[in-house]
Amino acid sequence: MKLGIIFGGRSEEHPVSLKSAQMIAANLDTEKYEPFWIGITTSGAWMLCDGPSEDWEDGDCRPAVLSPDSSVHGLVVFDEGRSATVRLDAVLPVLHGKLGEDGAMQGLLELAGIPYVGCDIQSSALCMDKSLTYTVVAGAGIATPKFWTVTPDEKIDLEQLTYPVFVKPARSGSTFGVSKVADEAELASALDTARQYDAKVLIEEAVVGSEVGCAVLGNEDELMLGELDQINLTHGFFKIHQESDPESGSENSTVIVPADISAESRALVRETAQAIYRALGCRGLARVDMFLKDDGTVMLNEVNTFPGMTSYSRYPRMMAAAGVSLTELIDRMVSLALAPRAR
């Protein structure tokens, strides 16, 4: 099977995508798949290369584009003034953040007519925008944090805020641009930080509870769940990918798999994760992050439609704890991409 694997991208999560792709490369069954590694530079150039090494741009790369022409059904590769086409059977977009998880890449793949791993255009866009995620999930009767959106020209009524609050970009990931705000004096600076990543900003109530995650794999009604995980914090808030050396661990948190919660809470978290996944129309895979509150209720935190696949990432760790290796996980993701879609 000719499998196009796209990595890199123009978002702030470019380095995380590279690490995820390296783990995919190390665990891909090359007797089953012929990989075509498609790297996107931070400036947006597309290159067909040998693989996702740290210095991949300095290797044997050729300019290439994914054709939106469905009759091509794959790549157009340019080499010394000539072009050639490579027909792809499926695409694995190992991309995080804007222009990777927000529906843009999914739209291109839909135009190209190539089956691809992960959520479709609509669910990708919904999950990328936290305010839309909360609105849809709340409409399905599932608890979400209280939140306010702030656009560039909009002023927030400060009287309605109860501190502490979190200020975050509405459409970003991996806690880039997120601040915990203790009082009104810190709010302006936090808004400025968030606006470095998105013009639309979310102000969200601080939820008291334990953060738990659920790895979901599947389409429509046939869902498989990994073991739940739990974030243990010593101080501050969970800042995945923000450490200088995340492979060696975090300075303020540890991730426990399986989560140290009661059987009743475990069942409720799993049930809620599936309900959220379906309410948002997710397909293929997603990591659903939630809060387990002290009174036993479960509240949504966020949904990642292509969670990290790095050596320290939560999703593959939860799946491994459920007996699914990364090699098998790749197989299952590709099989789900090739499965017929419900009409």
Q: How many CA atoms lie within 13 A of 144 on its CB side?
A: 21
Domain 125-144+208-338 has CATH 3.30.470.20: yes
Task: List per-residue pLDDT tens for the chain, 343 residues long.
Answer: 999 999 999 999 999 999 999 999 999 999 999 999 999 999 999 999 999 999 999 988 999 999 999 999 999 999 988 999 999 999 999 999 999 999 999 999 999 999 999 999 999 999 999 999 999 999 999 999 999 999 887 777 888 899 999 999 999 876 789 999 999 999 999 999 999 999 999 999 999 999 999 999 999 889 999 999 999 876 556 556 555 667 665 666 789 999 999 999 999 999 999 999 999 999 999 999 999 999 999 999 999 999 999 999 999 999 999 999 999 999 999 999 999 876 6
Return the DSSP state at 257: S
For the chain, report the end-to-end CA distance as a whole number of angstroms: 26
Instruction: Record the tokens describing residue 167, joined without a space.
Output: 């200020």
Domain 147-205's class?
Answer: alpha beta
Residues labelled as active-site residues: 16, 19, 96, 241, 247, 287, 308, 312
Residue spans in the chain of domains classed CATH 3.30.470.20: 125-144+208-338
φ, ψ at 129 (rounded to 5°): -95, 105
Residue spans in the chain of domains classed CATH 3.40.50.20: 2-116
Reported as type and span, the H/E element at residue 112 is helix 104-112
Residue spans in the chain of domains classed CATH 3.30.1490.20: 147-205
CATH code given to domain 2-116: 3.40.50.20
CB contact set of 335 (below 8 Å; sequence gap of 6+): none
C-alpha R_g of the chain: 20
Give the CA-trace dihedral at 159, 163, 169, 170, to 10 degrees: -70
